[in-house]
Structure 1
């Protein structure tokens, strides 16, 4: 269904927030961010991976987001939001694709984004 190798290649992580590290502020980048520690603030980047020990208290805007840890904040993902079985997410999400593993916790509103803008425009033109 999804091209996991192509879309979710976390083998080449650009930035790591380690298990015993806390960061407060805005992270703005284009690469892959892995969080195993704690981040408070805002994350704007290409892809985000929150490990099992990761705690994020921030809004996230990214292409793909994979969560095994805890997030308190809103997520906007233009690609795939994947909640692994150990994930805990409290916040609203806007995503193109969503995968929730058995046992994952999610509390918030969900808006599914259309991947094809031309279909949205055609629908508006008919009104």
Structure 2
């Protein structure tokens, strides 16, 4: 409805009080309430992967998924192949790449923002035009 894709179901949970050390790969949806010290990657073959990092969660490593929602702490680069949502308590220490970005007041990023252009060549990028106040 209204052009929004349905989100994949969250089938995996890393509960608060759980600490994982090592790299992870997942399909569909993953929610993290605990701590992960390693890289997290959604399967690129799957369309519509969802990663949710809750307010209490801490991730130290790189993140790669289609749709990433952050409300906790991430120390490492974040690569959202579609949408990156930063909730009010999101803290990211690392570079961020995304196709679309939604950032709520209070969220912070200490790193570079790199929008990903999907299917747009250098020649097709719109020119930046400044509006001047006429006298």
Q: Secondary structure at the match of 2:123?
A: helix
Provide the aligned C-alpha RMSD in A.
1.9
The aligned residue for residue 82 of structure 1 is: 85
**Residue 2 of structure 1, CA deviation:** 7.8
The Cα offsets for residues 42-98 of structure 1, whole Å up to 9 and x where unpaired, read as: 000122100111110010111010001111110111111110001111110111011
Larger helix fraction of residues:
1
- In proportion to residue count, which structure has more strand? 1
1:108 to 85, 108, 111: 111
SS of the residue 1:63 aligns to: strand
Question: With structure 1 as the length reference, what TM-score do the two structures score?
Answer: 0.84
Structure 2, gaps ≥5 residues long: 43-48, 125-135
- Aligned residue-pair number: 117
Alignment gaps of 5+ in structure 1:
none
Which of the two has higher C-alpha Rg? 2
TM-score (norm 2): 0.80
1:32 alignment counterpart: 29
Give the one of 5, 12, 15 matched to 1:18: 15
1:54 is the counterpart of 2:66:
no
Give the structure 2 partner of residue 41 of structure 1.
38
Q: Secondary structure at the match of 1:123?
A: helix
Partner of 1:63: 66
Which residue in 2 is equivalent to 1:123? 123
Alignment check: 8 A CA contact 2:10 2:50 kept = no
